[in-house]
Structure 1
Amino acid sequence: MTLSAEEIALCAAKALREELETYPKPGLVSLVDQGSHPDMDAPCFLASIEAITPGFAEMAACAAGSLADLQRIGVTMEQAMRKATNGRNAHRGAIFCLGLLCAAAGVQIAGATESLGQVVATRWGGEIPQAEALEPSSDGVAMCRRFHLGGVRREAALGFPSVYQFGLPAYREALSLGRPAARVQAFFAILEHCEDTTLLKRGGLDGRDFARQCARRFLDDGGVANPEWWQRAQEMHREFVRRNLTAGGVADLLAATLFVEDMERKQ
């Protein structure tokens, strides 16, 4: 099934809405509460999604363009996001991750047979780690330098391994328990492994390690196959809020996971 650029953008918007709907999702904004983000809520996120969706279509249509071309679209998308949210950063990381994946989906329209992640790595992976290329977050870059990490740039340059190695397998394995549960399972699978610069900014290495321990404990106890999974995830959510921890990078990769799964299912 061949999708138009506009249809690809709608898939990206759907993935972002499903990420917002996911709960319990430790420390993050959802339809239920604001998590560890007193300055943002669900209406703010929904306004942001609406504002940036046209940009995803431009990304998909710009598949033959350079990384600099995609960057220019991304800057316009961020401006639209901040206008819609009164200056709040609801989806800067998602613009980066999903923007690249939408562009990769546009390449697939032109006949590419690789996975979306492989397209990103092959076509733009060499440029992405450069300081001037598609800056996803100045705070994120600072955290990467401070802790000597690759961050979301490395994640994208390598073709989103957190999506393909952890998010997608966890999501698909748990689908028999329903999409809401499968999204939570994927969230914790990604949280256990990825280097989230938002977590590092909020809690340093101790906060990062605590989050990983929570994810590992949740998954080792059966994940969403455990009859008490919802209560356990909610308790972790409350503890993240108490500690002022959040995992915005994991949320972006969850949305990327949902987008890739949707696109692969429609092929």
Structure 2
Amino acid sequence: MEKSKEVSIKAFEALLKEVNLSPKPGLVDRLNNGSHSDMTLTTFYDSAEAIFPFFEGYFLLGQNHKGTALELFEKVRNLGAKAEKEMMKATQNINTHKGANFSFAVILASIGNYYQKTSKVELLETDIEEILNYTKEMCAGLASRDFKQLEKKENLTNGEKLFLKKGIKGVRGEAESGYESLRDNLLPSLRKYRLLEEEERFLRGFVDLMSDVEDSNIYHRGGEEGILYLKTEAKKIQQLDISKAELISHLKELDEKMIAKNLSPGGSADLLALGIFLFSLEKVN
């Protein structure tokens, strides 16, 4: 199988693994719809299927690119806008994977660009580091460009409102940093839990992620109080020496509390999908 197809399929599988992972506090999963009255598991399946055909295109843009990283970003963003339209059409204008589509687009393009220079079948941790560094180059200055003159704009997105109010950059900030949350938190956690079976590995990695990430979706719904609440609750679970069954029990309890507070860590869910994807590309040492 061509590398572009192989990598794209792994990205698609990561989206499906993320949404099916259960329980995820406040999020759509196999158990319930979390804090989302407008989304179901089927909505996410439809959304993932709508953007999947674009994944190979993102990879190939990177693989065939000869210019600067910023020039590649513009190419990828244009294709990503088309994918987003297909996603919104498939979900009847429900925003399921807008942030994920953006991040998978730039990371897949970065991976494609990396494969210009290597014949490796599997990637090492150092290769993933280089891929994320190139993603950082692609997205340099993104927030300042996108958020310029927002005061004059009439219809603001949630992300734009948060930036004006709190200076929170959301997914753009993650991209500008070369996905620090993946590099410094989630991927090290998944590597640490490598010997656990897949579901438990991802659940424990997600707890570690929630305990540390400034999730813009949480800010939008619950402000700083919501962020502090999620981080505190996740850290409590993180610090327990518990079995998988006990972990699931604690996550179900937190799920009920998050739903009662109408909180949903959607930004963390997107990062989880990206982490699952990048981890699937790494060679097991």
Both structures adopt the same fold (TM-score exceeding 0.5):
yes
Q: Percent identity?
A: 27
1:105 and 2:119 are equivalent in the alignment: no
Give secondary structure in 2 for the equivalent of 1:177: coil
Aligned to 1:233: 251
Kept in 1: contact 2:110–2:131 (CA 8 A): yes
Aligned to 2:136: 121
Residue type of the partner of 1:106? G
Residues 155, 3 of structure 1: alpha-carbon distance in 2 compared, 3 angstrom cutoff: farther
For residues 94-130 of structure 1, what are the alpha-carbon distances to aligned partners after superposition, in whole Å with 9 as ceiling and x for unaligned? 01111111111101110165532112013x1324223
1:247 and 2:240 are equivalent in the alignment: no
Kept in 2: contact 1:175–1:181 (CA 8 A): no
How many angstroms apart in 1 are the aligned matches of 2:84 and 2:231?
A: 30
Q: Any unmatched runs of 5+ in structure 2? A: 66-70, 119-126, 148-155
1:13 and 2:28 are equivalent in the alignment: no
For residues 38-86 of structure 1, what are the alpha-carbon distances to aligned partners after superposition, in whole Å with 9 as ceiling and x for unaligned? 1000111001111101111111111125222111111101111011111
Kept in 1: contact 2:58–2:109 (CA 8 A): yes
Aligned to 1:66: 72
For residues 171-223 of structure 1, what are the alpha-carbon distances to aligned partners after superposition, in whole Å with 9 as ceiling and x for unaligned? 2222323111111111111111111111011111111110011111110113x
How many angstroms apart in 1 are the aligned matches of 2:253 and 2:74?
A: 43
Give secondary structure in 1 for the equivalent of 2:187: helix
Give secondary structure in 1 for the equivalent of 2:84: helix
How many angstroms apart in 2 are the aligned matches of 1:258 and 1:142?
A: 30
- Which segment drifts farther, 242-251 or 64-73? 64-73
How many angstroms apart in 2 are the aligned matches of 1:257 and 1:40?
A: 23
User: How do 1:87-98 and structure 2 match up within 5 A?
Assistant: 87-98=93-104
Residue type of the partner of 1:232? H
Kept in 1: contact 2:22–2:29 (CA 8 A): yes
How many angstroms apart in 2 are the aligned matches of 1:90 and 1:118?
A: 27
| Shift, 1:226, TM fit | 6.2
Aligned to 1:81: 87
How many angstroms apart in 2 are the aligned matches of 1:159 and 1:132?
A: 17
How many angstroms apart in 2 are the aligned matches of 1:3 and 1:254?
A: 26
Kept in 1: contact 2:46–2:90 (CA 8 A): yes
How many angstroms apart in 2 are the aligned matches of 1:171 and 1:38?
A: 31
Residues 127, 67 of structure 1: alpha-carbon distance in 2 compared, 3 angstrom cutoff: farther
Give secondary structure in 1 for the equivalent of 2:101: helix
Aligned to 2:159: 140
Aligned to 2:121: none
Residues 85, 118 of structure 1: alpha-carbon distance in 2 compared, 3 angstrom cutoff: same
Residues 164, 127 of structure 1: alpha-carbon distance in 2 compared, 3 angstrom cutoff: same
RMSD (Å), alpha carbons: 2.1
Residues 84, 220 of structure 1: alpha-carbon distance in 2 compared, 3 angstrom cutoff: same
1:26 and 2:34 are equivalent in the alignment: no
Aligned to 1:183: 202
How many angstroms apart in 2 are the aligned matches of 1:119 and 1:3?
A: 22
For residues 208-259 of structure 1, what are the alpha-carbon distances to aligned partners after superposition, in whole Å with 9 as ceiling and x for unaligned? 110011111110113x646511100110011101110001000000011011
1:165 and 2:184 are equivalent in the alignment: yes
- The alignment of Structure 1 onto Structure 2 pairs a total of residues equal to 261
TM-score (norm 2): 0.86
